[in-house]
Structure 1
Amino acid sequence: MATKAEAHLNQEEDGRGEDLLRTHKCGKCDKEFRHASKLKRHLRTHSYEKPYKCEECSRQFSELGNLKKHIRTHTGENPYHCEECSRQFSRLGNLNSHMRTHTGEKPYKCKECTKQFSQLGNMKNHIRTHTGEKPYKCEHCSRQFSELGPLKKHMRTHTGEKPYGCKECSKQFSVLSSLKKHMRTHTSEKPYRCEECNKQFSELGNLKTHMRIHTGEKPYRCEQCGRQFSELGSMKKHMRTHTGEKPYKCEECSKSFIGLGSLKSHMRTHTGEKPYKCEQCSKQFSELGSLKKHMRTHTGEKPYRCDECSRQFSELGHLKTHMRTHTGEKPYRCEQCSKQFRRLGHLKSHVRTHTGEKPYKCEQCNRQFSELSSVKMHMRTHTGEKPYRCEQCNRQFSKLDHLKKHMRTHNT
C-alpha cells in the first residue's frame, strides 16, 4: 500500500495534470485559454482596464510587459543586440524581425498568391490587396485605407501638419518621402538613370515618364477624341480643350489659361522678363520655345519636312501652313464677304479693307498704313534704302515690284 505522503504527491500531480488539460473560456467572446492568468489579461480587452501606469507620461497599459517595453522609450534602453551588425533594439520581437534581413528568411506566406514575407504585419497588409479590406477610416472625410501608415499621412491633409523640415531652407513637408525628394534640389543628386540614353533623374516617377520616349508607350487616353498621352498631366490639360475649363487666371488682366505654364509665359508680357538668352547673339526671349526656334536661324536646322514635296521648315507652324498649298485648305473665312484664306495674317489684312483700319504709322510723317509691309516700304522714302539690286546692271530699287518691272527691260 502507498504511504500517506505518496498518496498526497499523486493527488497533487493529478491536479496539475488536470489544470494543464483544463481550458478557461472567455464569457464575452468564447475564446479559450490554457492558463487562468492569460484569461485575466484577455478580459482587459473587453473591460478596457489598464492597471499599469507610466510614471513619466501617465500613459496606461493593460499588461505589465507592455509597460516595461514602453519605459524604454524614456530610458533609451536597447537591451537586444544584433550579433551581425551590432544594431540594438528595445524589443525582442524587433530584433527577431531584423535578423531576417541577414538570413533572408520569409516565414509568412500568402495563401492566395504564395508571395512570402519576413514580417507578419507585411503579410497582413498584403492580404488586403486580395480581400479589398480597408479597416482604417478617416474621421474627417470617411476615406478608407488598407494600412494605418497611409491613413496617418492622409490625416495631415486635414490637420496641415508638416513634421518633416528641410535643414537647408526650413521648408516643411507632411511626408518623409517628399522631404527626401526635396533634398535633392540642394544636393543635385540624381540617383535614377535611364539605361537607354544615360539621362539621370532625381525622382523615380520622372524616369518612368521619360522611358515612354523610348518605348512609345502612351497609357493615358482621352475618352472624347481617343487621343493618347504619355503623361497624365498632359491628358488632363488636353481635356480642358473639350471642357473649355481655364483654371489659371492672370491677376493683371484677368485673362485665363488652360495650363500653368501658359500663365507663367503670359505673365512675362506684363513683367517684360526674358529669361532665355541666345549664346550666339545674346538675343533674349520670354519663352523657351521661342529661343529654340531662334537657334535654328544660327544652326540652319529645318527638322520639319513636307511629305509631298520634301521642302523643309524650321518651324512646325510653317510646315502646317505650307501643307495647305497641297491640300487647298483655307480655314480662315472673312465674315463680311466669305472670302477664305490659308493664313490668319492674310485674313486680318483683308478685314482692314472692310474696316478701313490703318494700325501702322510712319514715325517720320505720321502717314498710316493697313499692313506692316507697306509701312516698311514707305520708310525707304525717308531712309533712301534700296535693298533690291539688278544682277544685270547693278541698279538698285526700294521696292521688289520695281525691280521685277526693270528686269523685263533686259528680257526684251
Structure 2
Amino acid sequence: MNECQICCKQFSFKSNLTSHMRIHTGEKPYSCDTCERVFTQHSELTRHKRIHTGERPFICSTCEKAFTTNGELTMHQRVHTGERPYSCDFCTKAFTQQTHLNIHKRIHTGEKPYSCVACDKAFATNYQLTIHMRFHTGEKPYSCDLCQKSFISSSELTGHNKSVGHLKKKEITENPELSRTEKKLYSCDTCEKAFCTSNELTFHKSICTGEKPYYCEMCQKSYCTKSELLRHNRSVKHLKKLECTKDAFYCELCQKSYNSSAELSRHKKSVKHLKKLEYTKNAVVLSASSSFVDCGEANIKLENNEEETPDEDHLFIKMEPENVEITIKQEIEEEIQDEGSLTYE
C-alpha cells in the first residue's frame, strides 16, 4: 500500500498517491492554454477545456440534454427517475446531491459557517453571504435593459420582469402606436383612472378615498401627502402659531415647554416625569401629615379641658399653606442632593 506521510491516507497505486500529494504541496502542473488557469490533475484540465470549446459529450437519453461531465449527467437523470439517494437524518427529506443535503442539515444544526466581515452576520451558504455583501458594497449586477433598474440578485430581477409595470412598459415598447391613455401604467382600483407615474396615482388615491394621513398636531389640520404637510410646517402662519403657543403647553412640575398638546402628553407619560411626580406626591403627604391636628384627639382634650401638649408619639404642628409648600421644596432639594440619582428631562 502507498501511504501519505502527512495525513496517513493509503492508496492502491503510486500514481494516485502522487496526485494526492499535490493537495498538500499546492502543486498545479496542468495549465489551460486559453485562460492560463492551472489544475492539480489532468482530468480537471480536460473538463475545464470543454468550457472554451463548448464540447458536451454526455447526453441524456430521455430529453437529449448534453453535459460536460458524466457526474452532471448522473445528477440530471435523477430528475427523470425521481431518485433521491441522500436522506436527512433529522427529517424525512431527501435530495439528489450530497451538497444539497449538507446545506439542508444546517437548518437543523443551526450551523452558519459563512460570516460577514463588515457586520458579523453569519449565513448557512456562501451564496447567501455573497448576496448579503452586496448590501454593503452597493453592487447590483442584475439589470433590466428595458427599465434601467438594477438588482442585487437574479431572483429580484425575475420578480421585476413579472411585475405589472414591467410588462406594461414592455407592451408599450413593442407597440409604439398606442395612444397616450393606453400608455398609462398605473391605474386606480376605485375609479379606474390611469396615470403615468406611481406618485401621481398615490396622490390621486388620497383624493379619491378622502384619506389624509399626514396630520399637524398643533394646527389640527390634515393633508393628503407628506410634501403638503412639510410645506405647511414651513409656512409663515404655522411658524407664527408655533411661536405664540410655545409656552401654552407647559409642564409646571418640570418647568419645560412643548410645541403641542401631544408632545406635552407624551412627556407626562415618560418615566422621568412620572418618577418626579411620584416623588413630589410622597413629599406632599409627609409634609401635610405634620401640618394638621388629629381632630378626634383634639375634641377629647377640649372636653376634658386638657392642654394640648404634644408627646413623643404625636406632634401637633400648625403651618400655613405657603410654609407647607416651601417645606416640600426644601425636602425635595435636600433629597436630590443626598441621593444624586434622580435626573429630570
Which protein has greater RCO, CA pairs closer than 8 Å, 6+ apart?
2
Q: TM-score, normalised by structure 1?
A: 0.41
